[in-house]
Amino acid sequence: MSTPTLKLAVILGSVREGRRGPVVGRWFRQQAEQHGQFDVDYIDLAEVPLPLALPALPPLMGEPERPEGLAAVTGKLAAADAFVIVTPEYNHSYPASIKTLVDWHFTQWRAKPVAFVSYGGIGAGLRSVEHLRAVFAELHAVTVRDSVCFPQYWELFDAEGQPRDAEGANGAAKVMLDQLAWWGSALHLARETSPYPQGD
């Protein structure tokens, strides 16, 4: 049985001025496009108008009425078979921009796999990843075990935006993408075969 091409949304979470996240995000986007099993959609949250005020009804009560500016990103999330969150670590956790995107959506994440690329200081952004795993579990998403992380990331990329240890970084990305492709294919088939049973 042939493996379908999966729609992958790579989400760059940092919106901070002077951010270096695009270096990490662009590198990973290249890895995902070269992998061969993904149709990649790159979402930079710095370009998405994310309102901080949420609607009165929570997503569990039905799809919220979203501002027109969110229509494009909502459509991309709904169409995706899998996600990769590229996240820094701010104050031992993930940026508010990621949580705002998450909180404006619910069904778009359901029964789909999520993987992580993190970067930071000595902790490599891993505390962001661990916190996000709990968030996505609540959304009925499946998080991939392996991740890609960059400690002291400002030292790890050259002037062309490529990792200085290309073999190690590219190898870690392939392992994660292989796992993401497996989960993405399995859950894609499952969603097509039977509706996901939503609890309370």
Please, are residues 104 and 137 in contact by the beta-carbon 8 Å criterion?
no
User: What is the structure's pLDDT at 18?
Assistant: 86
Alpha-carbon distance of 55 to 8, in angstroms, equals 27
Is there a domain that residue 108 lies in?
A: yes
Is there a domain that residue 1 lies in?
A: no
User: Tens-of-pLDDT digits for all 200 residues of the chain?
Assistant: 466 899 999 999 999 998 989 999 999 999 999 999 999 999 999 999 998 877 776 656 567 777 788 889 999 999 999 999 999 999 999 999 999 999 999 899 999 999 999 998 888 878 999 999 999 999 999 999 999 999 988 889 999 999 999 999 999 999 999 999 999 999 999 999 998 887 65
In residues, how long is the chain? 200
Is there a domain that residue 69 lies in?
A: yes
Q: What 3 state SS string does the chain have?
A: CCCCCEEEEEEECCCCCCCCHHHHHHHHHHHHHHHCCEEEEEEEHHHCCCCCCCCCCCHHHCCCCCCHHHHHHHHHHHHCCEEEEEECCECCECCHHHHHHHHCCCCCCCCCEEEEEEEECCCCCHHHHHHHHHHHHHCCCEECCCCEEEECHHHCECCCCCECCHHHHHHHHHHHHHHHHHHHHHHHHHHHHCCCCCCC
Q: What's the domain count of the chain?
A: 1
CATH number of the domain within which 101 lies: 3.40.50.360
Is there a domain that residue 85 lies in?
A: yes
Is there a domain that residue 113 lies in?
A: yes
Angle made by CA atoms 85, 54, 56, in degrees to the nearest 5? 140
Is there a domain that residue 94 lies in?
A: yes
Q: How many CB atoms lie within 10 A of CB 47?
A: 11
Is there a domain that residue 19 lies in?
A: yes
Q: Which domain holds residue 106?
A: 6-193
Is there a domain that residue 42 lies in?
A: yes
User: What is the structure's pLDDT at 52?
Assistant: 83
User: What is the structure's pLDDT at 122?
Assistant: 85
Rg (CA), the chain: 16
> pTM for the complete prediction?
0.92
User: What is the structure's pLDDT at 13?
Assistant: 95
Cα-Cα-Cα-Cα dihedral sign, residues 131, 136, 139, 144: negative
User: What is the structure's pLDDT at 4?
Assistant: 80
Please return the burial class of 194, using the count of CB atoms within 10 Å of its CB with bins 0-12, 13-18 and 19+. exposed
